[in-house]
Structure 1
Amino acid sequence: MKITKLLNTSLCIFFLFLCNTANAALTQQQEEAKKKGIELYNQYKAISAIDFLKIAADGGDDDALYYLGEALRKNNRYMTQEAQKAYEDSAKKGNIYSMIRLGEANEDLCVTMKNCSPTEHSPEEWTNKAKELATEQASKGNAESMYLLWEITGNDDWLEKSAERGFALAQFRLATKYQEGGGAFLLPSRRSDAIEKWMKASAENGYPPGMMGFAAARIEKNDLSSFRFWNEKAATLSYVSGVFGYASYIGGIEPTYGFQSDPVKSYALLSNLLELDGGGNVINNVNDTLPEVEKNMSKEQIAEAKNLAKTWKSTHPPLSFYPDKLGY
């Protein structure tokens, strides 16, 4: 009993220390590297992101360390020693996402390959600490921490609480859960209403996948105006799915869903998508669609479109697939 208490006390002291390890301020170069690294990561260019994330990680930024761990793990398809160190350094600064990843180490491919790196603390210990910190933050009304508690525990009450508190990703996940048959509804219409309610909330809170989800819900009710609005909104936020859909809809001689024909903008947006050569399979779709738009354009229109592509890129966020931060 004394030994158990001693171990628990030692663990508590360790975690108290790690969560009090503050982030050091990044230099401008490190901040820019972090921004670029996350941009590339969100474009499914994990390999290209690594060098940038290492620069920011060297500055001790917990989020950069987490993304570095993610990029290394996804590139290698398992948690390498370098990825594990990045997660551990991030977790020691109180990053709950990294704690969750370390808590999942027993399910990593390295277990099957029998080449997992030695760890200072067990996955169970990291999971317990993630739960402890998330619970503490959730008790103060932190909606993101409520969502993380759902990720940790699988308790849908936390997902609902997070959604009700306005966390856009939780709202999207709740709507998706209902779409997939989760939840209990007396009537199918009640389920549809709940899906639309939470997709709308997610969209209005600025989450592009939620915008596209709400657009899809509105098109089912033949609300073309709302469909067009949210599709274009997702495109202006550079969500890849939204950009491709919007560009495709406005590119034809006879545009669909009531969009106004604009082949110049369509060409510009589609050509910008060609930079996404790291993954997501969007390139194949663009290569099929762009020639169909181009064949009906004059040389002057193509030149105008190329200029617009540059202007659009400089005045809008970087293209992003908006991947789930805890996604695989």
Structure 2
Amino acid sequence: MRRSKSSTAFFLLLYVFFSSAQVQAQLSPDQLAAKTKGIELYNQFKAISAKPQLKIAADAGDPEAQYYLGEAIRTNDKYMTAEAVSSYEAAALQGDIYSMIRLAGEKNDLCVAMKNCSKTRKEPGAWGKMALDTASARSAEGSAEAMYLKYRVTGDDKWLEQSAENGYVFSQYFLGIMYRQGHGHFLLPSRRAEAIEALMKASAEGGYPKAMLEYGAILAEKNDYQGFRHWNQKAAEAGYAIAVFGYGYYLSQETSEFGFTYDPVNSYALLSLLRELDGGGGMLDRVNSKLPELSAKMTTEQISQATELAKEWADTHPPLSFFPDKL
């Protein structure tokens, strides 16, 4: 379909605005540190603690921080507040497609009823159009992430497939999950299994921790326990909280069906790291049920060694994260 001259001019204007806005949003070292910490806390399901950190960078004009601040507010308050909408709008007007998609799905019925909608409020359909047009423009430039976002806007699987083909690790993982749930058309079940394995392998090798566990599980089903151990360890080393627990748990077993070497000191170190996850996710309950059982079999010296190993791990590995989907 041919785009009108006025439409083309509008999107050129948006492009220029987005580009200049992103250039202007330069964070100071302190603001960048606050943003990084805020996203870290959000990914640990600590939305309340994340808010003040994210607000520092959001107030400085950083669109990613503005999006995550909107997410933290919405998650904590359990609904789309005017404050959350305002944060999403600030990010969306700087070209953040994630924020556009959030706003496109929000009817703002509450703010209309309370008569406190933001002055920049657009109808959901307008945000949806902006999200589609922005994602389309960036997809045409080769952005695999934008292809994924275009899939989220249109629901057209071809964009998810193109995103995966172009190396976006989340799309590779997500498409693999979709295939496992029965999406897609395959003549033989073996072809479906091969496609799932190839996607999870690509995503795992690309560095996506959730795919590392999925690929490891596929290898275990094929009795490749060395591969299973490798990818569980890699996912733990990437900071994936579920994998840290799993790896620590396997090391606590005196006899392992998957061939893990019994190592109570490293097991205790890994599991004790997870005690900082005192927000959502239920991880603290798991750890508190396992650590006493493990420590009962250890000497005071071993526990002391484990405590030092935990500190060393925290200093040399990425922060713990549940890696929640960004949308």
TM-score over 0.5 for the pair: yes
Residue aligning to 1:313: 314
Q: How many Å apart are 1:75 and its aligned residue?
A: 0.5
Equivalent runs, 1:45-84 vs 2, <5 Å: 45-84=46-85
Q: How many Å apart are 1:218 and its aligned residue?
A: 1.0
Residue aligning to 2:272: 271
- 1:21 aligned onto 2:33: no
- 1:121 aligned onto 2:138: no
Cα distance in 2 between the residues matched to 1:204 and 1:13: 37
Cα distance in 2 between the residues matched to 1:272 and 1:113: 46
Structure 1's 112 and 77: CA in aligned 2 closer, same or farther, altered over 3 A?
farther
Deviations 1:261-302 (A, max 9, x none): 111010011011011010101111112221222121111100
Q: Which amino acid aligns with 1:121?
A: K
* 8 Å CA contact retained: 2:135, 2:150: yes
SS where residue 21 of structure 2 aligns? coil
* 8 Å CA contact retained: 1:252, 1:293: no
SS where residue 200 of structure 2 aligns? helix
Structure 1's 262 and 303: CA in aligned 2 closer, same or farther, altered over 3 A?
same
SS where residue 105 of structure 1 aligns? coil
Q: TM-score, normalised by structure 1?
A: 0.92
* 8 Å CA contact retained: 2:151, 2:157: yes
SS where residue 21 of structure 1 aligns? helix
* 8 Å CA contact retained: 2:111, 2:117: no
Structure 1's 128 and 142: CA in aligned 2 closer, same or farther, altered over 3 A?
same
- 1:35 aligned onto 2:66: no
- 1:194 aligned onto 2:182: no
Q: What is the root-mean-square deviation in Å for CA atoms of aligned residues?
A: 2.2
Q: Which amino acid aligns with 2:273?
A: N
Residue aligning to 2:286: 285
Residue aligning to 1:214: 215
Q: How many Å apart are 1:253 and its aligned residue?
A: 2.1
Structure 1's 114 and 214: CA in aligned 2 closer, same or farther, altered over 3 A?
farther
Q: Which amino acid aligns with 2:21?
A: T
Cα distance in 1 between the residues matched to 2:113 and 2:217: 42
Cα distance in 2 between the residues matched to 1:260 and 1:215: 17
Residue aligning to 1:160: 161
- 1:180 aligned onto 2:181: yes
Structure 1's 184 and 312: CA in aligned 2 closer, same or farther, altered over 3 A?
same
Q: How many Å apart are 1:58 and its aligned residue?
A: 1.3
Residue aligning to 1:239: 240
Q: How many Å apart are 1:13 and its aligned residue?
A: 8.7
Residue aligning to 1:224: 225
* 8 Å CA contact retained: 2:82, 2:111: no
Cα distance in 2 between the residues matched to 1:173 and 1:300: 44
Q: How many residues align?
A: 320
* 8 Å CA contact retained: 1:77, 1:109: no
Q: Which amino acid aligns with 1:268?
A: A
Q: Which amino acid aligns with 1:278?
A: G
Cα distance in 1 between the residues matched to 2:257 and 2:251: 7
Cα distance in 1 between the residues matched to 2:178 and 2:240: 22
Structure 1's 58 and 181: CA in aligned 2 closer, same or farther, altered over 3 A?
same
Q: How many Å apart are 1:117 and its aligned residue?
A: 2.6
Deviations 1:127-159 (A, max 9, x none): 111111111111111100000011111100000
Instruction: Please say which of residues 122-131 and 43-52 is displaced more in the overlay.
Output: 122-131
* 8 Å CA contact retained: 1:42, 1:321: yes
Q: How many Å apart are 1:122 and its aligned residue?
A: 1.2
Structure 1's 219 and 112: CA in aligned 2 closer, same or farther, altered over 3 A?
farther
* 8 Å CA contact retained: 2:240, 2:323: yes
Residue aligning to 1:96: 97
* 8 Å CA contact retained: 1:239, 1:321: yes
Structure 1's 13 and 216: CA in aligned 2 closer, same or farther, altered over 3 A?
closer
Unpaired stretches in structure 2, ≥5 consecutive residues: none
Residue aligning to 1:145: 146
